[in-house]
Amino acid sequence: MISLRNVSKWFGNFQVLNNCSTEVAKGEVVVVCGPSGSGKSTLIKCVNGLEPFQKGEVLVDGISVGAARTDLPKLRSRVGMVFQHFELFPHMSVLANLTLAQVKVLGRTPQSAQSKGLKLLERVGLTAHKDKFPGQLSGGQQQRVAIARALCMDPIAMLFDEPTSALDPEMINEVLDVMVELAQEGMTMMVVTHEMGFANKVAHRVIFMDEGKIVEDAPKDEFFGTPRSERAQLFLSKILHH
Amino acid sequence: MFGGFDFDVIQRSFAYLFREGMVFTVTLTLLAMSGGIVLGTLLAMMRLSSHAFVSAPAGAYVNLMRSVPLVLVIFWFYFLVPWLGGWVIGAREPIKVGAFWSCVITFTLFEAAYYCEIMRAGIQSISRGQVAAGYAIGLNYWQTMGHVVLPQAFRNMTPVLLTQTVILFQDTSLVYVLSVTDFLGAAAKVANRDHRLVEMYLFAALVYFTVSFAASYAVRRLQSRIAVIR
C-alpha cells in the first residue's frame, strides 16, 4: 500500500532523511518512534507529499508521490492525515470542518457530506458538538474531530503525526481508543507516536528512527522483546521506565 | 471671537457639499477599498510565492507605489489612463475615462500596495499547519487559500484593513488636483465663490475628523467582537 524506497531529504546542508526504505502493507499498523529530531515526522509527511524529498521514491497505492505528473491533491484526498496540533479550521463549525473537502474535493452534495460527517461524529462520540467551533472543544475532542475529518474522505490509509503529543494526559486515552478501534477494523495506518502502550496493543511493526535513518524495522514482539540496535534499547529503556 | 465669520454659508451649501461632494468621496473610497483589497490580496499571494518570477514583479510594484507621492500618481494616471486604455483596446484616440473613473483606478492601484502589505502579514499570521491541513485533505492551492487561509487572514486583519480605509478616505481629498468635486473640492468651490475660506475649511476639517474618528472608534469596537476563538 505504502512503500518508501531509499528516500533522502536535505534541509540545506542538513540531511534529515538518510536512505529510508520501508513498506506498509494493506491493513497493517506501523508505529514510527524515535527521539525528537530523528526525522519521523518528516518521513510520514513525505508519504502524502507535504514534505518534498530530493532522492528516492514513495509509492502510495502504486502512485509515485514525487513524480511531477502526479495529481497530489487527488492522492492526498485518499490518504488521511492527523496532526499533532489538530489543525481544525478555527473559523468553521465542527460539521463544516467535516464537510468542506467532501464537497470541494470529492464533489459530494452538501446533504450527503453532512450525513457522512454526522455518522463519523457519532463514531467519535461528538454528535452533540456538531455546531460548535473547534476553539470551544477540549484538545482530545478536537483531535477526535480531526480524525473524523480525515475519515470522511474514505481514506485508503491513515497517517498520524504524534496525535497525542499536544494533549493533556487525561485526554490521551479518548484519542487512542478511537485509533485502536480503527486499527482493529483493519485500517492501514502509519503512526508517529511515543505511546508504546498503543504500539504494543495494535501495531504489527515498529520502526525506530535516529538521525534520519531507519535504525530498526521489526515486528512488534521482536522490537519490544529484543531490539537489535543499542540506540533502540536505550530509547526504550528511557521511555518505558518512567 | 467668531463674530466676523458667517457660518450660515455652511447651511446654504449643505446639500451641495454632501449630496455631491460627500457622495463622490464615499463612493470613491468604497470602490477603491473593494478593488484595492482584491488586488492587494492577489499581490500578497504573489509576493509570498516561492517562485521568484511571481514574487519579484509583485514586490517591485508594491515598492514602486509606496515610494511615489500619491498626488503624483493621481496626476500621472489622469493623463496616462486614457492613452493606456486606448492602447490596450487598440483604439486610435485616447479613450474617455473621466475624472471619476480615473480616480477610482488610481486609488485602487495605489492602495492595493498598502492593502497588499496588510494581507501579506495576515496570510503569514496563519500557521503553516493550517495550510498543511488544507493540502492534507486534498484541497489545492486556490481552495486552501480561499477556504482556509484567506478567511482567517481577513478576520485577523479586518481592523487594520479598515484603519487603512480611514486613511484612504482622507487621502481621497487629494483629487483636488484634478478639480474634481469631492467633499473637499465642493467645500473649496463654495469657499472661493462666497469668500468664506476659513469657515469652509474649518467645517471640512471638522467633517473629516468626525467621520474618521467615528470610524476608528467603530473599528475598535468591531475588533473585540470578531476575533476567532482559538
Nearby residues of B230 by Cβ (< 8 Å), 6 or more positions away: A90, A135
Mean pLDDT value of segment A88-97: 96
Interface test with B, best of A70, A71, A82, A91 (most B CBs within 10 A): A91
As to burial, measured by CB atoms within 10 angstroms (0-12 exposed, 13-18 middle, 19+ buried), residue A200 is: middle
Residue of B nearest to A134 (CA): B230
pLDDT for the residue numbered A235: 86
pLDDT for the residue numbered B196: 87
Residues of A whose CB is below 8 A from B227: none
pLDDT for the residue numbered B203: 92
Q: Is A211 left (phi over 0), alpha (psi -120 to 50) or beta?
A: left
- Return d(Cα B227, Cα B30) in angstroms, integer: 24
- Return d(Cα A164, Cα A180) in angstroms, integer: 13
Q: What is the complex's ipTM, to 2 decimals?
A: 0.93
Q: Is residue B158 part of a domain?
A: yes
pLDDT for the residue numbered B22: 93
Residues of A whose CB is below 8 A from B152: 89-91
Residues 14-73 (B) with a CB less than 8 A from some CB of A: none
pLDDT for the residue numbered A114: 96
DSSP A43-76: HHHHHTTSS--SEEEEEETTEESS-TTS-HHHHH
Q: Is residue B16 part of a domain?
A: yes
Output the CA angle A218-A224-A227, nearest 5 degrees: 60
Question: Is residue A209 classed as helix, strand or coil in its secondary structure?
Answer: strand
**Mean pLDDT of chain A, nearest integer:** 93
Q: Is residue B174 part of a domain?
A: yes
At A185, give phi and psi (nearest 5°).
Answer: -80, -5
Residue B31, domain extent:
8-226
Interface test with A, best of B125, B137, B226 (most A CBs within 10 A): B137
Residues of A whose CB is below 8 A from B147: 89, 100, 104
Q: What is the pLDDT of residues A183-221, one digit of tens each?
A: 999 999 999 998 999 999 999 999 999 999 999 999 999
The answer to whether the beta carbons of residues B72 and B148 sit under 8 Å apart is no
Q: State the CATH number of the domain containing residue B161.
A: 1.10.3720.10
| The three grid cell numbers given for residue B120, joined into one nine-digit string | 501579506
Q: What is the pLDDT of residues B174-195, one digit of tens each?
A: 998 888 889 999 999 999 888 8
Question: How many structural domains are present in chain B?
Answer: 1
pLDDT for the residue numbered B230: 58
CA A63 to chain centre: 19
Instruction: Report CB contact under 8 Å: B135, A85.
Output: no
Q: Is residue B134 part of a domain?
A: yes
pLDDT for the residue numbered B1: 56
- Chain A residues with at least one Cβ partner in B under 8 Å: 45, 48, 50, 72-74, 76-78, 80-81, 83, 85, 87-91, 100-101, 104-106, 133, 135-136, 149-150, 153
Mean pLDDT value of segment A15-19: 94
For A91, the closest of B132, B136, B155 (CB atoms) is B155
Q: Is residue B106 part of a domain?
A: yes
Q: Is residue B1 part of a domain?
A: no
Q: Is residue B219 part of a domain?
A: yes
Amino acid at A198: F
pLDDT in tens, chain B (230 residues): 566 777 788 888 888 888 889 999 999 999 999 999 999 999 999 999 999 999 999 999 999 999 999 999 998 888 888 888 788 888 777 887 788 898 999 999 999 999 999 999 999 999 999 999 999 999 999 999 999 999 999 999 999 999 999 999 999 999 988 888 899 999 999 998 888 888 899 999 999 999 999 999 999 888 878 766 65
Q: Which pLDDT band, with edges at 50, 70 and 90, does A237 fall under?
A: confident
Distance from CA of A134 to the nearest CA of B (A): 7
Q: How many CB atoms lie within 10 A of CB A202?
A: 19
Q: Is residue B2 part of a domain?
A: no
B143 interfaces chain A, CB cutoff of 8 Å = yes
The CA–CA distances, whole Å, from A199 to A20, A110, A176 equal 21, 37, 10
